[in-house]
Amino acid sequence: MMASDRDNKVVIRRQIRATRQELFDKWTDPEGMREWMCPGNIVSAEVQMDPCFGGRLVIVMRGPTEVVEHRGEFTVFDPPSKLAFTWIAKSTDLHPTLVTVEFLEVSPTESELVLTHSEIPRKEVSNQYQSGWGQIISRLEQYLGER
């Protein structure tokens, strides 16, 4: 693999009607994540995490015909502004990639969520993650709207 192959990344920016703290809390709540960490045909997600710097993260997504496991470790834990964690999955060739989620204040009741997934091994994988993360953030918005 050439060094430039790992330069593939995904950046998603979305304004959401929630405070930075509310968003940060949703990203560190394993019970809630089970509801919205479900892209595409994924019907359920099992989430285990130790939400702190150096804490572990395991997300098992289940679809009708497949089970996809993701593992990682929190590398940044800065409430309510930023989270970062490694993301290791079969789609990353079991090599660590990096997901950074930033929460920026737009107004007292609205925030901008900026998700960056970097060090993705191949372009076709970054295209899959572009779609998947976009769907996940849309589900998060729906989840927030239902509370």
pLDDT at 116: 98
pLDDT at 1: 38
Average pLDDT over residues 1-6: 46
Question: What is 3-145's CATH topology?
Answer: Alpha-D-Glucose-1,6-Bisphosphate; Chain A, domain 4 (3.30.530)
How far is CA 36 from each of CA 31, 122, 133, rounded to the nearest angstrom? 10, 26, 11
pLDDT at 6: 54
Nearest to 35 by CA among 130, 116, 127, 140: 140
pLDDT at 147: 64
